[in-house]
Every structure is written in C-alpha cells, then in structure tokens.
Amino acid sequence: MKTELRIAQHSVLRGERVVEAWHNGQFIAELAGTDGPGVCVISKHSLGTKRITDGLIEVLEVAIGKP
C-alpha cells in the first residue's frame, strides 16, 4: 500500500500549509517548508534516507519506520 499525501493547514502557524503523510489510516509524517530553498520532514517515527542521483536530477527517498 502506498503512502497517501494530503495538503492540510498547519496546526500552529495560521495560513501556512503542510503536506501530511498517511499510511494504512495512520498519520506518519509532515512535510513543511523551511527558510531558503528546502523542506523539513517531521515525524515521531525513525527516518532513513536513500540518495539517488543520475546526473540530471537528485532524489532523496525518506523511509519512515516505527516510533
């Protein structure tokens, strides 16, 4: 089953939106913007990363584990 991404309002910062990650009916992480060009992945679960580069694009795959 793939993780579902949902756009939602930030629970603290008014007018800010975040992307929520849901898997199997459970909220597992949130993706929010940061200062400058970048994003922040927030989760109570462990995060693992895998970098994939082909010379033209770069992908950072984030695996979300158990709390």
* Three-class SS state of 57: coil
**pLDDT score for 14:** 84
Structural domain for 25, as ranges: 4-64
Residue the block writes with tokens 């990363």: 49
Tally the domains of the chain: 1
**pLDDT score for 6:** 97
As averages over each run of 10 residues, the pLDDT of the chain (67 residues) reads: 94 87 95 91 94 93 87
**pLDDT score for 15:** 85
